Structure 1
């Protein structure tokens, strides 16, 4: 298939471990030039610049800029009953850096910084001694306090700058704007981490609401806390502390000691030692320990010592731990029917912002037992707000609770209730569309059966009116969130007409229902617009493996679209079939029987992909959208079961033997290529629906007749750009040309990052990190120092420490639209799915649904903020739509050894 998530996850894990492939490289050196075995990783990262050095360089650039452009910020100050020479004021520093960031980064559309984030950037410089508080305070404050630069102007500072020369600290010149932008961007990516540590060093009472929110967002990515509810994480944000120990071997606690805190490894690792057994395990980043002694109020069961220097931990003290556990139980509300739980709710300690026409008000009102006529006519700023989050529940009762409490709490300020949005985004996992429509229909007809106080509803006139209004309001929100997909599904599409008929009929009996006609008519108009897209003629998506110029993107590929697929037989003869994407593998075998003149049963035939590497993938009879799942140089065979072992790759699957796209790299500038890649990838992203990510991770078998072709095409494209990068470097003729191609790809990656096309950016970086390219030392040695440093910074964004923190900080500072790094989104969903149960005792686990919805929201927010069914139309050049590549790692390594033989090979030649 075009994208194998298991393989990519393995690769990402290897990257996460900071691999250098030392063991694999040793194996490679023992092989002859063409007798190569695949190493454990296809990628090799080599970053030679320390974080401290880069922070020092960034700080020096800012200092030089301030001295040359705004020297008045540095002056003698008087305060604290004494005078301080050459100082700056904290508030002025934040103002200055915010303005500088806006000026330098606005043109490249990279980031938008808040004042809070700028404080984090200064904190990073403070932690590393670039600036200092006059009284040696360790926390940067956006206040009228004094700081000074600690970098001496007389010291020679050697840095790689755009001007291409060594920059001496004694020279008086303003750094180049690109260096200023790079320094600010770098500090913006490490600032949140410094801010996180700074906040955790404060006492609970000193932490502001903004700081608590920042800590909460960081805790969302801590592996040890993923199973905890949202409210528990928010409670922990106020009481978690930062702890660091410098030297390996330091004892955190000993076996038999009293348990007084719970630890989570933030950075580094520890050994767990039990008397008489020695080291029983090693705990690494994201693991936790020490909780058992707190839960059982027992002595420590083991000794824990640092394994690495400068290990960092999150610490929760025993009293806070026990208080939170007590609060969780006290704040949990269980609604029962016939002695069984039907809903499990958690009380939220939060306020809710509401608006009226003239002022802002902040209310915290307990949840109402029902929203009847007593609340229906209240002004919007006086309506009750939900103070409970849903932890678990039965499907039907959850729908009723949502209609009872969340619809009436919706305001006109455009803010969507989070649980309502979570439910709509994820209901397909636990509640098919037809079942949800059935629940809504029942509620429309009879109203609610669930109340917070356990009483039954009064079947009166007012209640019926409110129930019908809620269903119409829910439908309106459902369409608003889901968009085109709502009308593609036959069950929800037909449900619109059904509800419209009910509303039309009820309006004759209930005059109040007339108000529901307007929103239903608006939904029907959206439906008519959507049907024009859905009822279009069939399009050819892939023509014998080539992406067609008439493919529907940015509109989605639909089940009736086709692919012209070459089908091979075991004797290597072939024919072409036009295959609808909703056809199963069994259907394809049936279609092929007429071409094969075969009259037997389908059970004897198998649909098999043979990859260029020799791997065989046997498709299940129920697999659909098979043509978009095939790898770049893969071949699709129909064979008998006893013929499968004889299917092997053919030479044509090795890819090109000389560069096909060298003219593209020569004729188009890196800016133009990056722009065309952006346009094409934006099309593919716009066509991809978030439900396809769910289907990919949870398994196609749970969602029959639903295709993921758009996601397949997007991931196929990621693989294509990645292997295109590696292929072009290796097929370049001569060292000079190869160096030119390498430089060109680094420039393309730079512009892709500026364009926020992270799909292209990471595909290119991974392509250059392929061991077949990264091992060519003479090529990288000739790369200019500035460009080598830039590439090293790009590689750092692949670092998966702290759950890919570097990447998340990059995207957090980017404005939409962006083209995201899709493999990481899939990894997040897989981690959430495999680490959390979907059901607890028959109740849906809505904490898991909330985590999944957060990933889906981040995917949706990457797209253009346009109205439903109004996609921008761009035209991308056909030159960048299809690349001829080598995707066989063995073949790539053969080319690599032709360029630079192994050390053992060179040594034997000398003998």
Structure 2
């Protein structure tokens, strides 16, 4: 039968809500199962049986609707939970510190709710052991991880900080809260914060809201240490995660001896000065071709000119660096001028010119430089090239945080500083693809072009062997572009075994059946490994566009769980449990070549080069 229960919360609620909350339960056994029911005040709680009689309970499994519990406030749903069976029994009442008579084997997961109620349920669902550690079930772990990965979709970091401070400092509405309950509530908040900081690593370290939040929370903990000495363990954990600095012992933080100045200076965030970051800098040597240079945000004009001069075999004294600004102005950069602004953006489109402002290289001229670049590429060992490409990609991929995919999907049209590493890896994929095309189409002689394509096929195979699917896809797709694949005379000269190998590698890039060939192959690879990022983003976009983010003003948490489940692939790929390190020592000569790729990014120019090599019949 169905039950309507008029229930009053013990939680602190606004006066307008203090007249009661309504919780609709579809199964009377749910009454002893819900954390929200367990924590209710005894007074003012009414159980009302309706006159309508439902069907007798059978052994058949219940529908999803029958297994759902809705919490209502002021006539509106604020939290919808789904009952699921858990393989792992819940903790006993003594471990929970509550009044539960026996452990049950069913739990509740969030279907939808308001941000505040989702967070409240998450905190209530946490369980603490006697050593203040957590021993949660798989569902609680997943809920916490889902929430921390996807909260930017429905609430700002500032709102989350304020909500956590509120839960830490609040006092339960009606009735008394003993010291044990207060300590447990505070420890749950601190555990969530510890998980958040551990998950985000340095991702939010520069966020001003997080800095202020950690300073305030740290202050509150110091205030509570006198009454709750058990919080000392949590203090140490926060110090370790966020580089909080304690100069004195716990006793010195008693109410009689606390120093306000000390607490004001208690937060020392790691990296007070913004660290220099690695970037891919484009330095144009013609109007439609550039050198992609791996450098840092503090680089000056002289360093870039030196690198270009060495790569292009042009005397440094003949070159100048010009920043072309919108709408067409030119700024001549002096040797010690910084190239990047504080926003990690170049001061303009960077061009290296001769001092007479002429181009450094004419791509249509069959000159000695083109002959030298082909000979240089052909002299490199294919395995070493694959190693250098993989090391480069891994440096970027290992710095990607799962939340970057969430920000990229939901904030695509706004420039976000939260997607720097992800955008860098996507940029690298495009550059490697264009680099393959550029190298082949700038090779003037047929026999050397054949050798070059054979070399790229071997490099692609080596990248796959090194579990770098980013570069693998880039090389195969570069060879499959129209400007390269139309070179029939060149492909006819490719030996049969290389054509067979290329065909086998192409099969993995086949998009049919939702990229089944790639997914099966990638799944068999051991971590660490580098995935194909565009497909990962496609999966998340499919979930995002196929499901509403809000239902009746409630956050659709089922959608966010699917997204969190997808972005967790990043974490799984970055782990190295078995010591299968992906990086290897690479040749300095090869590394110097790979760090400065010459790329033509104009498709029309690439096609003109292609037709110049093999004119249309």
| Structure 2 equivalent of residue 816 of structure 1 | 527
Cα pair 2:81 2:111 within 8 Å, conserved: yes
Distance in 2 of aligned mates of 1:522 and 1:414: 26
User: Which of 191, 202, 206 matches 1:484?
Assistant: 202
Matched, 1:329 2:37: no
* Superposed displacement of residue 818, structure 1: 1.3
* Superposed displacement of residue 566, structure 1: 1.9
| Structure 2 equivalent of residue 706 of structure 1 | 417
* Superposed displacement of residue 340, structure 1: 1.1
| Structure 2 equivalent of residue 522 of structure 1 | 240
For CA contacts below 8 A with separation 6 or more, give which structure has more relative contact order: 1
Note the alpha carbon deviations across 1:245-300, whole angstroms, 9 max, x for none: xxxxxxxxxxxxxxxxxxxxxxxxxxxxxxxxxxxxxxxxxxxxxxxxxxxxxxxx
**Cα separation, partners in 2 of 1:895 and 1:430, compared to 1, 3 Å:** same
Distance in 1 of aligned mates of 2:465 and 2:583: 20
Q: SS in structure 2 opposite 1:387?
A: strand
* Superposed displacement of residue 652, structure 1: 8.2
Mapping 1:49-198, distance limit 5 Å: none
Mapping 1:544-559, distance limit 5 Å: 545=283, 550-551=295-296
**Cα separation, partners in 2 of 1:750 and 1:520, compared to 1, 3 Å:** same
Cα pair 1:697 1:829 within 8 Å, conserved: yes
**Cα separation, partners in 2 of 1:707 and 1:527, compared to 1, 3 Å:** farther
* Superposed displacement of residue 857, structure 1: 0.8
Distance in 2 of aligned mates of 1:411 and 1:830: 34
Cα pair 1:365 1:385 within 8 Å, conserved: no
* Superposed displacement of residue 863, structure 1: 1.9
Cα pair 2:293 2:596 within 8 Å, conserved: no
Distance in 2 of aligned mates of 1:468 and 1:334: 27
Unpaired stretches in structure 1, ≥5 consecutive residues: 1-322, 353-362, 450-455, 554-563, 584-624, 637-649, 907-911
Distance in 2 of aligned mates of 1:819 and 1:656: 36
* Superposed displacement of residue 509, structure 1: 1.8
| Structure 2 equivalent of residue 442 of structure 1 | 166
Distance in 1 of aligned mates of 2:239 and 2:606: 59
* Superposed displacement of residue 849, structure 1: 0.9
Distance in 2 of aligned mates of 1:738 and 1:872: 30
| Structure 1 equivalent of residue 407 of structure 2 | 695
Q: CA RMSD in A?
A: 3.8
**Cα separation, partners in 2 of 1:580 and 1:893, compared to 1, 3 Å:** closer
Distance in 1 of aligned mates of 2:176 and 2:72: 19
TM-score w.r.t. structure 2 length? 0.70
Matched, 1:406 2:126: yes
| Structure 2 equivalent of residue 340 of structure 1 | 76
Comparing 749-758 with 653-662, greater Cα deviation is found at: 653-662
User: Which of 207, 223, 227 matches 1:505?
Assistant: 223
* Superposed displacement of residue 706, structure 1: 2.9
Mapping 1:325-724, distance limit 5 Å: 327-352=63-88, 363=89, 371-374=96-99, 387-408=107-128, 410-411=134-135, 417-446=141-170, 459-525=177-243, 531-533=269-271, 535=273, 537-538=275-276, 541=279, 545=283, 550-551=295-296, 566-568=323-325, 570=327, 573-576=330-333, 578=338, 583=343, 626-627=345-346, 659=370, 661-699=373-411, 706-724=417-435
Mapping 1:759-908, distance limit 5 Å: 759-865=470-576, 877-902=591-616, 906=617
Unpaired stretches in structure 2, ≥5 consecutive residues: 1-59, 247-266, 284-290, 299-320, 352-357
* Superposed displacement of residue 542, structure 1: 5.3
Distance in 1 of aligned mates of 2:486 and 2:282: 34
Distance in 1 of aligned mates of 2:268 and 2:530: 25
| Structure 1 equivalent of residue 286 of structure 2 | none
Distance in 2 of aligned mates of 1:510 and 1:364: 27
**Cα separation, partners in 2 of 1:787 and 1:405, compared to 1, 3 Å:** same
**Cα separation, partners in 2 of 1:891 and 1:426, compared to 1, 3 Å:** same
Q: SS in structure 2 opposite 1:484?
A: coil
| Structure 2 equivalent of residue 235 of structure 1 | none
Note the alpha carbon deviations across 1:110-144, whole angstroms, 9 max, x for none: xxxxxxxxxxxxxxxxxxxxxxxxxxxxxxxxxxx
**Cα separation, partners in 2 of 1:796 and 1:651, compared to 1, 3 Å:** farther
Note the alpha carbon deviations across 1:455-487, whole angstroms, 9 max, x for none: x88633332111101011111111221111132
Q: SS in structure 1 opposite 2:467?
A: coil
TM-score w.r.t. structure 1 length? 0.48
| Structure 2 equivalent of residue 145 of structure 1 | none
**Cα separation, partners in 2 of 1:414 and 1:699, compared to 1, 3 Å:** closer
Cα pair 1:582 1:707 within 8 Å, conserved: no
User: Which of 715, 735, 744 matches 2:455?
Assistant: 744
Distance in 1 of aligned mates of 2:69 and 2:519: 35
Cα pair 2:79 2:114 within 8 Å, conserved: yes
Mapping 1:197-208, distance limit 5 Å: none
Cα pair 1:654 1:888 within 8 Å, conserved: no
Distance in 2 of aligned mates of 1:653 and 1:837: 52
Distance in 1 of aligned mates of 2:598 and 2:186: 57
Q: SS in structure 2 opposite 1:820?
A: coil
* Superposed displacement of residue 700, structure 1: 5.2
Cα pair 1:345 1:392 within 8 Å, conserved: yes
Distance in 1 of aligned mates of 2:240 and 2:138: 18
Count of aligned positions: 485
Cα pair 1:749 1:760 within 8 Å, conserved: yes
Distance in 2 of aligned mates of 1:825 and 1:858: 9
Note the alpha carbon deviations across 1:662-695, whole angstroms, 9 max, x for none: 2442222100000011111111112333333223
Comparing 761-770 with 773-782, greater Cα deviation is found at: 773-782
